[in-house]
Amino acid sequence: MTTSLLWFSVALMAAAILLRKDNKIAEIISGAGWLIFGFYWVTLIPHYYAKADYVNIALAVSLFLFCLVLANFTARAFKNETRRKYPKHADSVLLDNRIDVFFSLTKMIAVVCIVYMPFYLFPPLNHLIIETVAAQTVDLLNFFGYGAVSADFDTIAYKGIYVSVVLACTAIESIAFFTGVILAIPGSSKSKGTAFLLTVPVIYLLNLARNAFIVAAYGGMWFGADSFEIAHHYIGKAGSGFALIIFSYATMKLLPDLIDVVLRLWELVVDEIRFILKMKPKSKDM
């Protein structure tokens, strides 16, 4: 049921993108997609509660509310009479601009899910990407003389320790995210191609280096008894965070419209929340 909700919401978003041109029905379809996408996160709350994972519960609730805000925005935009009768009116133009930003976000989420979810949901693809990353991590370790071996398709052995490679160790989340951003944000084909080559392949290679570092540090006990925790939870995550900032900066330099989209999306969400709370919006659009 949970998976079905996710795929149905993504299918609606993708359909809305394909129907977008001169078809305002696409706004209702995408709004429905965002509403269902929000309920998908709600279905995960019992799972997080069972694990006492209150951080993810808060995140799921926040995402649900965010999806409700966007769904409400599309419903109001679709019903807006001024926009239909006076398309060149300043308020209509502003609303159309916000719809463009909304569809950029919708396209990004749809692409991210389409790239990521097959590896998460389908065992053959899940097995393939984990096996590939684990084998290449072993090759990288051996290239530098560490003598690691593959103990199983997802397990690396080094100096008597065993490290399991899971989907999160493949960097597929980051790859899917940057792919979605690059495809969704306006820009020339050359800029998009450059942004893709400077992010996705580099992210994959840096992730292999990160995996190799963690295995080498753990097997060699570089940081004592807590070597895995220090290498994985602190150094590895800090390095990933730093790399994410660098890649985001590079993407914004190559696709400057990304900054504009983020700022306009922020204005859209803030004004919609103010409307829902019956507060005067900062920017009048409806």
Rounded to whole angstroms, how far apart are CA atoms 144 and 154? Answer: 21
Which residue, of 116, 150, 177, is where some domain finishes?
116
- Which residues, 6 or more positions from 120, have their beta carbon under 8 angstroms from its beta carbon? 126, 167
Sole residue written with tokens 């820009």? 187
Burial letters 100-124, b for 16+ CB under 10 A, else e:
ebbbbbbbbbbbbbbbbbebbeeee
Read off the pLDDT of each residue in 256-280 and give the average, rounded to a whole number. Answer: 86
Residue 286 covered by a domain? no
Residue 129 covered by a domain? yes
Q: What is the 3-state secondary structure (H, E, C) of 211-247?
A: HHHHHHHHHCCCCHHHHHHHHHHHHHHHHHHHHHHHH
Residue 199 covered by a domain? yes
What rounded mean pLDDT belongs to the chain?
88
Residue 205 covered by a domain? yes
Same-domain status, 200 and 112: no
Same-domain status, 65 and 105: yes
Same-domain status, 136 and 240: yes
In this predicted model, what pLDDT tens digit does every residue of 179-231 receive, in sequence order?
A: 999 988 888 889 999 999 999 999 999 999 999 999 999 999 999 888 988 99
Same-domain status, 41 and 108: yes
Same-domain status, 170 and 197: yes
Residue 272 covered by a domain? no
Rounded to whole angstroms, how far apart are CA atoms 229 and 28? Answer: 47
Sole residue written with tokens 């993708």? 14
Instruction: Look up residue 55 and give its two tokens.
Output: 């951080």
Same-domain status, 35 and 104: yes
Q: ∠ CA 184-188-190 to the nearest 5 degrees? A: 110
Which residue, of 116, 131, 163, is where some domain finishes?
116
* Reported pTM: 0.82
Nearest Cα neighbor of 28 from 73, 75, 67, 72 is 75
Which pairs from 27-30 meet CB under 8 Å and 24+ separation?
Answer: 27/74, 27/77, 27/78, 27/99, 28/74, 28/75, 28/78, 30/74, 30/102, 30/103, 30/106
Distances (CA, A) of 158 to 132, 224, 235: 18, 16, 20
The side-by-side arrangement of strands in the sheet containing 161-164 is 149-152, 155-158, 161-164
Which residue, of 55, 88, 116, is where some domain finishes?
116
Same-domain status, 12 and 27: yes
Least confident of 38-47, 135-144, 275-284: 275-284
Beta strand spans in the chain (E):
149-152, 155-158, 161-164
Residue 275 covered by a domain? no
Rounded to whole angstroms, how far apart are CA atoms 31 and 221? Answer: 52
What is the percent of the chain where pLDDT is above 90? Answer: 50
Rounded to whole angstroms, how far apart are CA atoms 17 and 5? Answer: 19
Same-domain status, 87 and 133: no
In this predicted model, what pLDDT tens digit does every residue of 102-120 receive, in sequence order?
A: 998 999 999 999 999 899 8
In this predicted model, what pLDDT tens digit does every residue of 53-91 receive, in sequence order?
A: 787 889 899 999 999 999 999 988 888 777 777 767 777
Same-domain status, 190 and 233: yes
State the total domains in the chain. Answer: 2
So what's the pLDDT on residue 195?
92
Residue range(s) defining the domain that contains residue 157:
123-259
Residue 11 covered by a domain? yes
Same-domain status, 14 and 88: yes
Same-domain status, 112 and 127: no
So what's the pLDDT on residue 22?
62
Query: Can you count the helices (H) and strands (E) in the chain?
Result: 12, 3
Same-domain status, 83 and 110: yes
Residue 24 covered by a domain? yes
